[in-house]
Amino acid sequence: MTARPPVPLSDEEIAAVRSWVLHEDAHVLVLNKPAGLSSQGGRIRAHTLDDLLWAFMRSNGKRPELVHRLDRDTSGVILAAKTKPAAGFLGKALQARKLDKIYRALVAAAPEPRSGAIDAPLLRQEIGRESYMRVAAPDAPGAQPSLSRYRTLSASEEGALVELEPKTGRMHQLRVHMASIGRPLVGDARYGGALTFAGRPAPRLMLHAARLTFPHPDGGRLTVEAALPADFAALMEAAGLQEPAKASGAFP
């Protein structure tokens, strides 16, 4: 699937990426990406998740390829295709918005209203060497229609746990949309998020890809979930927040 030569990996790197596997079959590989690891590219001189996929190289010299990306500081479920036909199938499914993604995030206070939809076009801006997104008027040149849904799962005087669903796939979409309603994500310095939560420093952007449902190349749909990581759970506990055993109700 790629002409690039294999990236040499240490035994520790191979063991680490293999420990992140949530689901694997002949067609797909689903991983639980840790925070702090770039999906692809980037300027940090370290292996990306894309590089680490060489740990799954097949006998024909090919390795899985990522179907979508997560921001470097976002943890959770990420999907890769193990074969060229699977990559084509899943790429088309992504373009057709047939991948359903559910996220968990921490905010400094529960949104008002507690649940809703954010329908706000986004525009990409380059500031120096960094890329940003901002809410823009629908008729602004380059503005892309963007829709997110949110609901509050748990709230206390210290903050809230929210569930987020992006219905479009714009860069930084959930981060910018939540900031646009006055609830930037905890740890998101770029878009105005608080850097402390429940009296503790936020170790990173507190955003976790909790669940992914997608059409499988063999037919049907597959749902894969990733439990909240330790740093996320620790801040929730400090704030007296609890993740529901099963989220009740539906998005608006």
Nearest to 136 by CA among 174, 176, 168, 169: 176
Neighbours of 126 (CB within 10 A): 8
Q: Which residues of 20-55 are buried (b: 16+ CB within 10 A; e: fewer)?
A: bebbeeebbbbbbbbbebbbeeeeeeebbbbbbbbb
> 25 catalytic, yes or no?
no
- What gap in Å lies between CA 155 and CA 148, rounded to an integer? 20
Annotate 137-148 with DSSP letters as a single string. Answer: -TTSTT-B--EE
In this structure, the strands spanning 115-119 and 100-107 are unpaired
Active-site entry in 11, 50, 51, 71: 71
Residues identified as active-site: 71
